[in-house]
Amino acid sequence: MRNRLLALTPNVLEQENLSNHTTLKIGGPCDYLIIPDTVEELINVVSFAKEQGIRLTVLGNGSNVLVDDSGIDGIVLKTTNLKTITVEGNTITAGTGVRLSTLCETALQNGLNGLCELSGVPGTVGGGVYMNAGAYGGEIKDTLTTTRYLSETFEVKTLTNEEHEFSYRKSVFQKHPEWIILESTFTLTPGNREEMKKKTVELLKKRNDAQPLEYPNAGSTFKRPEGYFAGKLIDDCKLRGCQIGGAQVSEKHCGFLVNKGGAASKDVVKLIQHIRNTVEDAFGVTLEAEIRYYKRGEDSVRL
């Protein structure tokens, strides 16, 4: 199998631990980890997996993801080498693997405004579009104009902004897991570079001061429930610092779970369940996790 995959792309790792590829630093091995360098390689791998009936999982930077300690069967397709980025006038087109921080820096260097709020989000363009990533009042949907994606029939198609069906932390791609984001185009407005830089620095400092970036984490654990803030609900339940195994409710920001060292996937699952049950009992509010859980032999689910 490995030789057949190497004929499609040179970047093939066998039995690679996915703890090396997720921001929580948790996760067992996958059968094959493939990191294509081009869209053509990606299409070839996807086609091969479908022909052979092999499970295929797409991974970006590995944020908002929990991988079970048993790992993932089949092929994990990591998109981080698909990072072409071009600027034409007021538009930027970025490959699915481009870091959001790189996208924001490119906009800043070209004096294009509209992305400052996303500069600290620890994901890729593909992941950001998939979940309509946002921070400090800004969301992907605000500036995105089109996305090119690979359909289930291996055709490269394009969606307009409206066709993404964006809402809070949702997009049409969550309804169609077989679609694979290839690149997105953003239309921005000319801005004052120094003012934009000042705003970006201020927001990054705010993020660094408020969030537990010193520990492995998956980003914000729960979606914001309507009318509430998840972190405050968790704090009001006196769960700050609550720990199961190596997984802990951050003492710095209760909206984050951190890996204090040696956390197992089951620790995170149990802690999320404990938080959800406690908050529901206390306030009648059901917290919805942002984190997707991947487990060998099963389709991914929201925790």
* Residue 205 belongs to a domain: no
**pLDDT tens digits for range 68-112:** 999 999 999 999 999 999 999 999 999 999 999 999 999 999 999
| CATH for 62 | 3.30.43.10
> What pLDDT score does 62 carry?
93
Mean pLDDT value of segment 114-137: 93
272 confidence band (pLDDT: 50, 70, 90): very high
pLDDT of 179 over the 90 cut: yes
pLDDT at 118 over 90: yes
- Given this model, what pLDDT does residue 174 score? 94
Residue 201 lies in a domain: no
Find the domain containing 56 and state its range. 2-78
Could you tell me the CATH number of the domain that includes residue 262? 3.90.78.10
Give just the sign of the alpha carbon dihedral 201, 203, 206, 212: negative
The pLDDT value recorded for residue 3 is: 86
Q: Is the pLDDT of residue 301 over 90?
A: no
The model's pTM = 0.92
Of 23, 52, 78, the position where a domain reaches its end is 78
Whether 89 and 190 share a structural domain? yes
Q: What is the percentage of the chain residues whose pLDDT exceeds 70?
A: 100
Domain tally, the chain: 3
Q: What is the pLDDT of residues 199-247, one digit of tens each?
A: 999 999 999 999 999 999 999 999 999 999 999 999 999 999 999 999 9
Query: Strands, E, within 89-140: which ranges?
Result: 91-95, 112-113, 134-135, 138-139
Q: Is residue 253 part of a domain?
A: yes
Indicate whether 299 pLDDT > 90.
Answer: no
> 204 in a domain, yes or no?
no
pLDDT value of position 252: 95
Residue 66, pLDDT above cutoff 90: yes
The catalytic residues are 169, 220, 290
DSSP, residue by residue, 203-256: HHHHHHHHS-TTS-EEEE-B---TTS-HHHHHHHTT-TT-EETTEEE-SS-TTE
Considering the domain architecture, whether residues 171 and 189 belong to the same structural domain is answered as yes
Among 15, 47, 78, the domain-final residue is: 78
Per-residue pLDDT at 233 = 98
Indicate the DSSP class of residue 167: B
Q: What is the pLDDT of residue 303?
A: 83
Residue 58 near residue 112, CB atoms below 8 Å:
no
d(CA 96, CA 39): 10
Note the pLDDT of residue 300. 85
